[in-house]
Amino acid sequence: MLFTNSVIKEACADLQSHYVDYLVNHFADWRVWAEASAKVANREPVREEEIPVAFRTEFKITKVIVEMEDLGKFDWQNPTLLKLFGELAQGEFYAFFGDMITKIALRLSQSTGVKTLFEIGAGRANLTKIMLDQMRAMQVALPIITTDSQPIILDTIEKLKSEYPEAEIYPGLWNITDDPSDELFTVIQHPVLLYERYTLNYANVSAIKNISRIADIVVLGDWFNYTGELFAYDEIFKKIGAVPLFFKDIKPHLDEYFPNQYIFDQRALDSIKLPNITLLIAWK
């Protein structure tokens, strides 16, 4: 399998240009939000109109988290919180991000002769459905292994099978902080491309070793802190388990198991000083 930076650039040039242009425009005022989040953390009044549109849902979520913290009880079933997370999942960037991750994964698969697609942290299979739509549109036929640590994935994939009868899709249970099961090895054929969205942020860096036992190429849609600078919104989101993952901490693990890395959104980091890598491609 010949895989280089040049392969990525040639296969995904238009996607990269579109994706980074979007980041630069959509998140241009990220520091305004960072400063406002400090006021939220300090229980100072902040009007929604002061927040850049791209961050207003996050703003409302942080307010609810702070309010629940003051009450001394965090409730995941809080109707307001559930509504806001639903709003976030249906938001413009979340959908765009999923679209980009799946298109990049398929372009790279076609360019490098990938034999198996593998998804981790699939949850309710929202990203899986995007991938299946893309495969149908591009007329790509590849087996997909879709995994999550929770058994809901099993029923969800069974429903998707009826909606996409042409798809060769296998659900599996896997907590990526543990070794992959023997069963998973029976359904993959190398080269394997693994993709995900916001999964490692809820795991830990040791998961990279486990992932390397399965994957040859990874498309990581996580927010890796690139600058080392933390903001009030990071501290607030820690309270619900979204712990900042520093690139300096994950890079030694990547260097050991996926020594070749390409920061897909480097231009956004340079031009608007975005503090997080949002999309990273790595391979053996």
Measured CA to CA, the distance from residue 215 to residue 116 in angstroms comes to 9
Tens-digit pLDDT profile for residues 28-83: 999 999 999 999 999 999 999 999 999 999 999 999 999 998 988 777 788 888 89
CATH of the domain at 247: 3.40.50.150
Count of domains forming the chain: 1
pLDDT of 15 above 80: yes
What pLDDT is recorded for position 153? Answer: 96
pLDDT in tens, 72-122: 877 778 888 889 888 888 889 999 999 999 999 999 999 999 999 999 999
Model's pTM, two decimal places?
A: 0.94
Q: What are phi and psi of 237, to 5 degrees?
A: -70, -20
- The runs of H, that is alpha helices, within the chain are 5-26, 30-41, 56-71, 79-89, 92-112, 126-138, 152-163, 182-186, 207-212, 232-238, 247-257, 266-271
Q: Does residue 269 register a pLDDT over 70? A: yes
pLDDT level of residue 1 (50, 70, 90 thresholds)? low
pLDDT tens digits, residue range 150-201? Answer: 999 999 999 999 999 999 999 999 999 999 999 999 999 999 999 999 998 7
The confidence score (pLDDT) of residue 203 equals 80
Q: What is the pLDDT of residue 242?
A: 81
Residue 25 CB neighbour total at 10 angstroms: 11
CA distance 253 to 243: 18
Residue 137 domain boundaries: 5-283
Taking the CA of residue 252 as centre, how many other CA atoms within 13 Å lie in the half-sphere pointing to its CB?
5
More confident residue, 89 or 273: 273
- What pLDDT, on the 0 to 100 scale, is given for residue 229? 96
